[in-house]
Amino acid sequence: MITVENLKKEYKLVKRDPGLKGAMKSLFNRKYETKHAVKGIDFTIEQGETVGYIGSNGAGKSTTIKMLTGILTPTSGKVTVNGLVPYENRQKNAVNIGAVFGQRTQLFWDIPVRESYNLLKHIYEIPEQEYQETIEMFTEVLNLESLLGIPVRQLSLGQKMRCELAAAFLHRPKVVYLDEPTIGLDIAVKVKIRKFIKEMNQRWGTTVLLTTHDMQDIEEICDRIIIIDGGTILYDGGLDEIKKQFGQKRVIHFELADKEKFELPSALNGQVEVLPNEEETKISLSFDHEAVKSSFVISEMMSMYEIGDLNIADPKIETIVEDLYNKQEQGEEHEKVLANS
Amino acid sequence: MRRYTRLYWEFAKSHMKVMMEYRIDFLIGVASVMLEQFASIFFVKVVFDHIEQINGWSFYEILFIYGIAATGRSIHQIFFDNLWTLGWQYIRPGKLDRLLIRPVNPLFHVVADRLHQDGFGQLIIGLIILGTAIPQLDLVWGAAEIAMLVIMIISSGLIFVAINLFFATFSFWMIDSLPIVWAVFNLSDFARYPLTIYHKGIRMFLTWIIPYGFTAFYPAAYFIDKSGYKEFALWTPVAAIVCCVLAYAFWNRGLKAFASTGS
């Protein structure tokens, strides 16, 4: 379905010295620096897969998606989507793909949602009957009924995103790229959107490539994740494996009556790490979920201190990525040491 | 081609629905353009109240040139007005990316995204001016002349479109080329008067470099014998086609550059 081989993208950026003087200087004497946004990545995605594409801001996610959709031409390497090279056959490729780009709407701003869909019907040349069926189904799953007559600019963010999602799937594309589809939404809308994506994937076998910072999105929608950082792929594999590998770290925040007096209970020594916590009354403990049970940590703490409140934090995708990154760096150093010895 | 015609009609229908919904905006838009045009014609009228001719051109002949320019410009304003917004509406906020992943020609999409109501004011005023000027000219009007006038006006419109498209395309490299587009567009005001009243340099410039001369003066000269440009005027449709081809080729280059930088 999607194959990516040694894909690279470099940008040339104008290097500017700070201040007005720097700006003046760059007007006459330009120095360029090359930014390697994507540094030779490989992956293959089969029809019907749901893949989470994860990385911190500026990791190269959007650049990759732009190359997959054909908006950007790669510097080198190969991409094919459904047998087509996107940047060479952009318009042909467009028939097979749908996309939601975060906050950028694809609906027509001034006209009612229904009219927007009607225009999309003509743009994608969707047969009338298929269109009616699709709209009916979407209206039900996403609760669009009351929104269809309203111009897009009058919709709230959550309403807009639901309409947006329907627009991306309207022509029943083979692949859908979702770039942060749940950003800034409340829980109820997020749940509805996740359910919708899953249902479409099951019903039509739509391949989904999803970028998000919300771990919950990934857990509920994706069965595979690709983690990218600094333009290279750090991890590509099943969601369960990575959680086993990196997600056992738990953090519990305790609210103490007297933080000054705190000392790690001796039973927890060596297994639990105290994390810095800026709040005056709180301390945070981090530990390996496999080695120590949360209940044990909590009971030890309760027996020694007066606990006002506590809160168990889920492993965040950012922490997993960070962990991965550190591990990789350590691995490289380790290899260097081995090579030297 | 048939597909695009149908698609354009669908776009136009939804624009018209919006226009009808905001009736007051529509009327104000149309009226303000008409007022603006009346003001500049009034100025010409005042000049002619004091003199009989400018460089051999009578008031109604100048009005005729003016009328062709206004009508031609209305084609551009009604259907292609969105070219102005390429930089700040499409490239800067990333909206162009959206269009690029749809199975239609992106230029078509940008153009079809807007139908400009003010252009209708321009069209009405253009037709009124032509209707006033034509009976006063020493001309015999047959079917051939009318057909020629229509061709000339369409050519005039296309040249406006091509020039704007060409300069709007710079937005692909500089994010927003609106100031350049504006500066160039303002030159078209020169072309609403007989080019023979200007210095030779300006005349050459408006014929061969930025060919606004073909938007009004040359087309009008076809109908006015004494101009001495009757034959040259026949090149107007050719000039229109050449300009459109060049501008479109440049647009495609810009699009390609955009795809490799994605700025």
Q: Where are the domains of chain A?
A: 2-7+40-243, 248-314
Is residue B2 less than 8 Å (CB to CB) from chain A?
no
Is residue B95 less than 8 Å (CB to CB) from chain A?
yes
Inter-chain residue contact A70 with B262, CB threshold 8 Å: no
Query: Measured between beta carbons, which residues in chain B are less than 8 angstroms from residue A99?
Result: 98, 101
The pLDDT of B253-258, averaged and rounded, is 92
Inter-chain residue contact B103 with A11, CB threshold 8 Å: no
Query: What CATH topology corresponds to A2-7+40-243?
Result: Rossmann fold (3.40.50)
Q: Which helix (H) or strand (E) holds A5?
A: strand A2-15
Closest CA to B192 of B71, B75, B81: B71
**Alpha-carbon gap, residue B178 to B74, rounded angstroms:** 20
Altogether, the residues listed in chain A come to a count of: 341
Q: List the A307-313 sheet strands across, edge first.
A: A272-275, A282-288, A249-256, A307-313
Is residue B97 less than 8 Å (CB to CB) from chain A?
yes
Inter-chain residue contact B98 with A72, CB threshold 8 Å: no
Is residue A123 less than 8 Å (CB to CB) from chain B?
yes
Q: Within the 146-175 window of chain A, which residues sit less than 8 Å (CB to CB) from chain B?
A: none
pLDDT at residue A213, as a whole number: 82
pLDDT over threshold 70, residue B193: yes
Inter-chain residue contact A72 with B93, CB threshold 8 Å: no
Residue whose token pair is 């792929």:
A233
pLDDT at residue B189, as a whole number: 86
Altogether, the residues listed in chain B come to a count of: 263
Residue A104 to chain B, least CA–CA distance (Å): 7
Query: Measured between beta carbons, which residues in chain A are less than 8 angstroms from residue B93?
Result: 104
The pLDDT of B82-99, averaged and rounded, is 90
Is residue B92 less than 8 Å (CB to CB) from chain A?
no
The low-confidence residues of chain A, meaning pLDDT below 50, are: none
Query: Measured between beta carbons, which residues in chain A are less than 8 angstroms from residue B260?
Result: 72-73
Q: Which bin fits A48, alpha (ψ -120 to 50), beta or left (φ > 0)?
A: left
Inter-chain residue contact B260 with A72, CB threshold 8 Å: yes
- The pLDDT tens digits of the residues spanning A97-107 come to 999 987 778 88
pLDDT at residue A305, as a whole number: 84
Inter-chain residue contact A70 with B7, CB threshold 8 Å: no
pLDDT at residue B124, as a whole number: 92
Query: Measured between beta carbons, which residues in chain B are less than 8 angstroms from residue A179?
Result: none
- The pLDDT tens digits of the residues spanning A130-157 come to 999 999 999 999 999 999 999 888 999 8
Inter-chain residue contact A94 with B101, CB threshold 8 Å: yes
Query: Measured between beta carbons, which residues in chain A are less than 8 angstroms from residue B261?
Result: 11-12
Residue B239 to chain A, least CA–CA distance (Å): 31
Query: Measured between beta carbons, which residues in chain A are less than 8 angstroms from residue B102?
Result: 91, 94, 123-124
Is residue B93 less than 8 Å (CB to CB) from chain A?
yes
Is residue A115 less than 8 Å (CB to CB) from chain B?
yes
Tell me the pairing of strands A207-211 and A175-179. parallel
A288: β partners: A249
pLDDT at residue A85, as a whole number: 95
**Which chain A residue's Cα is nearest to B20?**
A111
Inter-chain residue contact B103 with A110, CB threshold 8 Å: no
Residue B259: which of A87, A94, A104 has the nearest Cβ?
Answer: A87
**Alpha-carbon gap, residue A193 to B224, rounded angstroms:** 67
Radius of gyration of the CA atoms of chain B, in A = 19
The pLDDT of B74-98, averaged and rounded, is 91
How many other β-carbons are positioned within 10 Å of the β-carbon of residue A142? 21
3-state secondary structure chain B: CHHHHHHHHHHHHHHHHHHHHCHHHHHHHHHHHHHHHHHHHHHHHHHHHHCCCECCECHHHHHHHHHHHHHHHHHHHHHHHHHHHHHHHHHCCCHHHHHHCCCCCHHHHHHHCCCCCHHHHHHHHHHHHHHHHHHHCCCCCCHHHHHHHHHHHHHHHHHHHHHHHHHHCCHHHHCCCHHHHHHHHHHHHHHHCCHHHCCHHHHHHHHHHCCHHHHCHHHHHCCCHHHCCCCHHHHHHHHHHHHHHHHHHHHHHHHHHHHHHCC
Closest CA to B55 of B199, B244, B250: B199
Inter-chain residue contact B14 with A108, CB threshold 8 Å: yes
A248-314 CATH choice from 3.30.70, 1.10.3470, 1.10.238, 3.40.50: 3.30.70
Inter-chain residue contact B11 with A71, CB threshold 8 Å: no
Inter-chain residue contact A97 with B105, CB threshold 8 Å: no
Inter-chain residue contact A106 with B14, CB threshold 8 Å: no
Q: If pLDDT is split at 50, 70 and 90, which confidence band does B239 have?
A: very high
Inter-chain residue contact B101 with A70, CB threshold 8 Å: yes
**Which chain B residue's Cα is nearest to A86?**
B101
pLDDT at residue A337, as a whole number: 60
Residue B262: which of A72, A101, A106 has the nearest Cβ?
Answer: A72
Radius of gyration of the CA atoms of chain A, in A = 24
Interface predicted TM-score (ipTM) over 0.90: no
- The pLDDT tens digits of the residues spanning B124-173 come to 999 999 999 999 888 888 899 999 999 999 999 999 999 999 999 999 98
Helices and strands (H and E) in chain A: how many: 11, 13
How many other β-carbons are positioned within 10 Å of the β-carbon of residue A48? 14
**Which chain B residue's Cα is nearest to A101?**
B98
Q: In chain A, what is the greatest distance between 2 CA atoms, to the nearest angstrom?
A: 72
Inter-chain residue contact B260 with A97, CB threshold 8 Å: no
Residue A10 to chain B, least CA–CA distance (Å): 9
